[in-house]
């Protein structure tokens, strides 16, 4: 059970009724909605205007990002000189969309691009010397990395030895020793409009800068808006904060995803159970589209996902989408198997402040997902490791109170390698050092979080009865806050006591619960679903009273508008 805590402003200022009324009048919204904006620090007219209407006019100029001007000049000069360009990407959605974006822009100007998407199982994340040498053998003289490279000192050095001009674009935390590339574009290297861009966001601004330079030589300029569907996919999938520049990119990119002009997007939506022209929320991208794109790199090769996003052939797109859907089904089976085995290990260490779990025969393509599942279940930092040659490769996820990257830095003496950021990271360790690493990591977590496990926290945006939750005017106001995600969470409200009128199990395993709940304070009954909670919500609770922590929204499934309640937590009243 989570601890429910009322949301407060970071500056601690309380809103007066007059200020909320003024905000309400200025923007034509309800005072209830004005209070939600106020609690998130949105109180000035300009802040609210930009938040509610994040138009492309608010995007920063490409020249305002670290290394961007030099990178664009180097690529433009190299292309004009006839140098062969290769893009080194990554096997996740961020890397795949970044690579597809570069290919789309440069194809407009008639430039052919080579690319390299590393194999997760044999090459791992980032650049490697063998791959660089293979590109050099193909005549590559200009190398652009996307969503990787900031930590690949040796591989970049080898590319330079082979005579390549190297441009690194990345968004991960830079190490102490930077690669000696000709240009480094990483928003974390210096002050800039948004330090938490996804890799595809960095690439978008670089291609915008390059677009201006290539168009200056004559010919029609490429419309960068055509790539915003790719930017939205990569940004949402990489779970970066949906604030500032990211919010602008994703809000407008979702509009393009709804149009589905790209054959691959249309077919991807179809195999995910959506109509090609359906409008999607960020959460639907996270849980439906992104896993299928990621499944390529996890279970086979990211090339399949890249081809899907780049093809103009509808029949080929449909074939590729079905392949990805098949990979995703296999991925889910693997995930369930490994999660079950990892949970068995976790249950044997109930007092540990964090989880460091290793197994044999585990697919390294899904251990990150398993780590996320364990963090959700136990509310502890979790690192899941599997065999990778003669070493162990691990993927970690964290809770908001613990900086995973900083914690691993304090354990670096026990690791062969590590990298990532506050909430997610990867590690590599020798098998004979696993126990030493586990002990050191648990010690670091204990020092940071204290001896007792921290309870999971649910932030509450206020109280809301079912009459207000059924008010379509208010629900449409809440829709203006989308896209929801890290940095911009969907509002969660506390209900009054609710009578459980009925309880019904559903799903193939009968592990989900459908509830009919009645708010006796206003006489309104609504349906709610509890996912994977059949065991936690027994039949004996029928006729009892409970409170919900929930998010109401408009459900437009099959064109019929209804009320959907997303239950975040519940407790007996």
Position 532 confidence tier, pLDDT thresholds 50, 70, 90: confident
**Under a CB-based contact definition with an 8 Å cutoff, are residues 99 and 145 in contact?**
no
Tokens of 288: 């439906």
Main-chain dihedrals φ then ψ at residue 547, nearest 5 degrees: -115, 145
Q: Is residue 498 left, alpha or beta, with left meaning phi > 0 and alpha meaning psi from -120 to 50?
A: beta
Share of the chain above pLDDT 70, in %: 99
Range 512-518, long-range pairs (CB < 8 A, 24+ positions): 513/537, 517/466, 517/546, 517/548
Name residues whose C-beta falls within 8 Å of residue 165's C-beta, 6 or more positions apart in sequence. 74, 78, 83, 141, 142, 143, 182
- Are β-strands 457-460 and 3-6 bridged in parallel, bridged antiparallel, or unpaired? parallel
Whether the predicted pLDDT of 93 surpasses 70: yes
**CA–CA gap between residue 198 and residue 207 (Å, rounded):** 14
Candidate from 15-29, 331-345, 484-498, 522-536 with smallest mean pLDDT: 15-29
The pLDDT, as a whole number, for residue 556 is: 79
CA distances from 47 to 37, 60, 243, 244 (A): 10, 16, 12, 10
Taking only the tens place, the pLDDT of each residue in 354-392 is 999 999 999 988 999 999 999 999 999 999 999 998 999
Walk me through the domains of the chain, giving residue ranges and CATH numbers. Answer: 3-53+458-572 (2.40.50.460), 62-259 (3.90.1640.30), 349-449 (3.10.310.30)
Please report the pLDDT score of residue 44 as a whole number: 86
Evaluate if residue 558 carries a pLDDT over 70: no
What tokens does 548 get?
């919900």
User: Residue 96 above 80 pLDDT?
Assistant: yes
Q: How far is CA 553 from CA 84, 429, 463, 468, 533, in A?
A: 50, 45, 15, 11, 21
Task: Compute the mean pLDDT over every residue in the chain, rounded to the nearest whole number.
Answer: 94
- Give mean pLDDT, residues 164-191: 95
Compute the radius of gyration of the chain from its Cα atoms: 25
Angle at alpha carbon of residue 382, lines to 381 and 388, rounded to 5°: 145
Q: 160 with 143: CB under 8 angstroms?
A: no
Q: What is the mean pLDDT of residues 77-91?
A: 96
Q: Is the pLDDT of residue 557 over 80?
A: no
Q: Assess whether pLDDT exceeds 70 at residue 559.
A: no
In the block, tokens 């009243």 appear at: 573
Across residues 150-154, what is the average pLDDT?
A: 95
Residue 421 has a pLDDT of: 80
DSSP string, 60-87: PPGGGSTTHHHHHHHHHHHHHTTPEEEE
Question: What are the tokens at 544?
Answer: 């009892």
Give the residue carrying structure tokens 């309400």. 24
Give this prediction's pTM: 0.91
- Mean local confidence (pLDDT), 544-565: 89
Could you tell me the end-to-end alpha-carbon distance of the chain, in angstroms, rounded to an integer?
14
pLDDT > 90 in the chain, percent: 86
Report, as an integer, the average pLDDT of 179-204.
96
Strands 113-116 and 84-88, sheet pairing:
parallel
Place of tokens 């000049």: 73
Mean pLDDT is lowest, of 15-19, 295-299, 477-481, 523-527, for 15-19
**Residue 221 confidence (pLDDT):** 96
In the block, tokens 């437009």 appear at: 556
Per-residue model confidence as pLDDT tens digits over 36-68? 999 999 988 899 999 999 999 999 999 999 999
Backbone angles phi, psi at 266, to 5 degrees: -60, -45
**Which is more confidently placed, 135 or 22?**
135
- Phi, psi of 477, deg, nearest 5: -65, -45
State how beta strands 424-429 and 512-519 pair: unpaired
Strands 512-519 and 498-506: antiparallel
Who contacts 216 (Cβ-Cβ below 8 Å, separation ≥6)? none
Q: Looking at residue 133, what is its pLDDT?
A: 97
Burial class of residue 429, CB neighbours in 10 A (0-12, 13-18, 19+):
buried
| Predicted local confidence at residue 45, as pLDDT | 87
Report how far residue 421's alpha carbon sits from residue 485's, in angstroms, rounded to the nearest whole number: 17
- For residues 107 and 562, the model is more confident at 107
pLDDT tens string 285-333: 999 999 999 999 888 899 999 999 999 999 999 999 999 999 999 999 9
- Report the alpha-carbon distance of residue 77 to residue 234 in Å, rounded: 28
Peptide bond into 533 cis (omega under 30): no
pLDDT at 122: 81
Element holding 515 (H helix, E strand): strand 512-519
DSSP three-state, residue 420: strand
Predicted local confidence at residue 69, as pLDDT: 97
538's CB contacts (< 8 A; 6+ apart) are none
| Range 214-221, long-range pairs (CB < 8 A, 24+ positions) | 214/76, 214/79, 214/109, 217/80, 219/109
Rounded (5°) CA angle 307-313-317: 50
Our measurement of the distance from residue 469's CA atom to the centroid of its chain's CA atoms, rounded to an integer in Å, reads 28
Residue 14, pLDDT score? 84
Q: Tell me the three state secondary structure of residue 322.
A: helix
The answer to whether the CB of 200 falls within 8 A of the CB of 234 is yes
DSSP secondary structure code for residue 415 in this structure? -
**198 closest CA partner among 58, 69, 93:** 93
Q: Is residue 251 reached through a cis peptide bond, with omega within 30 degrees of 0 on the bond before it?
A: no
pLDDT attached to residue 12: 83
């Amino acid at each position: 059970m989570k601890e429910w805590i009322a949301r407060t402003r970071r500056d601690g200022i309380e809103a007066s009724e007059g200020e909320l009324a003024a905000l309400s009048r200025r923007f034509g919204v309800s005072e209830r909605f004005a209070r939600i904006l106020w609690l998130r620090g949105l109180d000035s007219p300009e802040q609210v205007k930009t938040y509610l209407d994040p138009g492309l006019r608010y995007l920063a100029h490409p020249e305002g990002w670290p290394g961007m001007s030099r990178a664009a000049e180097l690529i433009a000069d190299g292309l004009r000189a006839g140098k062969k360009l290769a893009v080194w990407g990554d096997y996740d959605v961020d890397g795949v969309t970044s690579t597809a974006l570069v290919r789309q822009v440069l194809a407009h100007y008639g430039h052919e691009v080579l690319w390299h998407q590393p194999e997760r199982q044999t090459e791992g994340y980032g650049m490697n010397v063998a791959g660089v040498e293979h590109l050099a053998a193909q005549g590559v003289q200009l190398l652009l990395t996307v969503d990787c490279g900031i930590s690949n000192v040796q591989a970049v050095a080898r590319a330079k030895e082979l005579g390549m001009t190297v441009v690194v674009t990345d968004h991960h935390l830079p190490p102490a020793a930077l690669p000696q590339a000709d240009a480094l574009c990483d928003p974390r290297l210096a002050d800039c409009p948004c330090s938490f861009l996804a890799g595809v966001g960095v690439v978008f601004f670089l291609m915008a800068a390059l677009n201006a330079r290539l168009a200056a030589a004559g010919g029609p300029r490429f419309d960068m808006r055509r790539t915003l569907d790719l930017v939205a996919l990569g940004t949402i999938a990489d779970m970066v904060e949906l604030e500032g520049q990211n919010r602008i990119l994703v809000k407008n990119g979702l509009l393009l995803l709804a149009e589905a002009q790209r054959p691959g997007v249309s077919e991807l939506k179809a195999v995910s159970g959506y109509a090609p022209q359906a409008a999607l929320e960020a959460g639907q991208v996270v849980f439906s589209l992104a896993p299928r794109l990621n499944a390529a790199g996890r279970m086979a090769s990211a090339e399949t996902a890249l081809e899907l996003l780049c093809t103009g052939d509808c029949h080929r797109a449909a074939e590729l989408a079905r392949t990805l859907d098949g990979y995703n089904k296999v991925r889910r089976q693997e995930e369930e198997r490994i999660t079950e085995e990892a949970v068995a290990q976790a249950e044997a260490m109930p007092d540990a402040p964090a989880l460091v779990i290793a197994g044999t025969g585990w697919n390294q393509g899904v251990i990150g997902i398993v780590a996320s599942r364990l963090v959700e279940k136990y509310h502890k930092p979790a690192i899941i490791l599997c065999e990778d040659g003669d070493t162990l490769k691990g993927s970690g996820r964290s809770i908001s109170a613990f900086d995973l990257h900083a914690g691993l830095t304090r354990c670096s003496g026990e690791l062969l390698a590590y990298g990532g950021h506050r909430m997610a990271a990867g590690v590599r360790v020798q098998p004979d050092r696993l126990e030493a690493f586990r002990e050191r990591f648990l010690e670091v977590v204990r020092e940071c979080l204290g001896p007792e496990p921290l309870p999971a926290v649910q932030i509450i945006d206020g109280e809301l009865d079912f009459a207000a939750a059924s008010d379509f005017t208010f629900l449409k106001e809440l829709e203006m806050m989308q896209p929801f995600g890290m940095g911009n969470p969907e509002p969660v409200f506390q209900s009054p006591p609710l009578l459980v009128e009925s309880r019904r199990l559903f799903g193939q395993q009968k592990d989900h619960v459908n509830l009919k709940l009645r708010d006796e304070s206003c006489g309104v009954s609504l349906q709610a679903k509890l996912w994977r909670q059949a065991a936690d919500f027994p039949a004996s609770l029928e006729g009892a009273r409970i409170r919900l922590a929930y998010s109401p929204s408009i459900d437009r499934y099959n064109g019929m508008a209804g009320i959907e309640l997303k239950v975040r937590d519940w407790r007996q009243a």
